[in-house]
């Protein structure tokens, strides 16, 4: 299974974010198993990043970001969407990585092979699309992704008799860009903290 551990997430968000590309996000429940390959992430830094939820200080909504790395920060926005982040750095350094897109590889509830490639891609293409596909909601906030059996990130996993392995993403395959939807963050909006597989 080779799950990513607390040490992996305990580093700086801008280090963790590109290294998550190609890894496998796994969602398990008693009813279903889904696997997606992470293909886009964004780093949100601590107190020196105006775009980060933690910038204005600790509140009930963002308090998980102030704790240990490896926990999920799931929050609700635009009145209808849940977004998934993984907390990074040590306790007291409130930072995290937003998972923006995954490539769906397996879904025990859907015959992906029979779907159009564009429809498959659409399932995980967008931070709110992937949480809807994987049924990740507010009840997953504060979940420890390094120990949970419902949501975790691995280099290899076997489901339904099929083995999946993470993709090795070369540095030259990683695209860099400013983060989406953070224009209010002034000069921090320009920082190239979005990472994606070209």
| Residues at the site binding DNA, with contacts judged by CB under 7 A | 42, 44, 51-54, 56-57, 59-62, 65, 73, 75-81, 83, 85, 96, 98, 122, 126-129, 132, 179-182, 184
Cβ 58 to DNA, closest distance in Å?
Answer: 8
Comparing CB distances to DNA, the nearer of 28 and 132 is: 132
Comparing CB distances to DNA, the nearer of 65 and 145 is: 65
Is the separation of the CB atoms in 104 and 34 below 8 Å? yes
Residue 157 to residues 93, 95, 120, 166, Cα–Cα distance (Å): 31, 28, 20, 9
Cβ 97 to DNA, closest distance in Å?
Answer: 8
DSSP H helices, the chain, are 6-9, 13-20, 117-124, 127-134
Comparing CB distances to DNA, the nearer of 57 and 160 is: 57
Comparing CB distances to DNA, the nearer of 120 and 157 is: 120
Is the separation of the CB atoms in 16 and 71 below 8 Å? no
Q: Which two tokens stand for residue 70?
A: 């490896």
Between helices 127-134 and 117-124, what is the axis angle to 10°?
100
> Cα–Cα distance between 170 and 157 in angstroms, integer?
21
Cβ 26 to DNA, closest distance in Å?
Answer: 20
Q: How many residues does the chain have?
A: 198
Cβ 65 to DNA, closest distance in Å?
Answer: 7
Comparing CB distances to DNA, the nearer of 31 and 60 is: 60
Comparing CB distances to DNA, the nearer of 13 and 157 is: 13
Cβ 63 to DNA, closest distance in Å?
Answer: 8
Residue 134's closest CA among 104, 159, 92? 104
Calculate ∠ Cα 183-25-60, nearest 5°.
50
Cβ 99 to DNA, closest distance in Å?
Answer: 9
């Amino acid at each position: 299974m080779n799950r990513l551990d607390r040490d992996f997430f305990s580093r700086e968000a801008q280090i963790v974010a590109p290294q998550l590309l190609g890894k496998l996000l796994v969602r398990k429940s008693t009813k279903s198993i889904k696997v997606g390959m992470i293909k886009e992430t964004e780093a949100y830094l601590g107190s020196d990043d105006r775009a980060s939820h933690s910038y204005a200080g600790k509140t009930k909504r963002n308090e998980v970001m102030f704790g240990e790395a490896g926990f999920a920060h799931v929050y609700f926005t635009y009145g209808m969407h849940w977004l998934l982040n993984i907390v990074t750095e040590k306790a007291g350094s409130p930072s995290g990585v937003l998972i923006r897109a995954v490539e769906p590889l397996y879904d025990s509830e859907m015959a992906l092979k029979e779907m159009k490639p564009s429809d498959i891609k659409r399932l995980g293409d967008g931070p709110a699309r992937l949480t809807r596909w994987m049924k990740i909601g507010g009840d997953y906030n504060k979940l420890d992704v390094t120990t949970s059996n419902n949501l975790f990130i691995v280099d290899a996993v076997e489901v339904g008799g099929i083995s999946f392995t993470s993709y090795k993403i070369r540095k030259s395959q990683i695209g860099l860009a400013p983060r989406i939807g953070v224009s209010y963050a002034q000069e921090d909006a320009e920082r190239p903290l979005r990472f994606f597989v070209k």
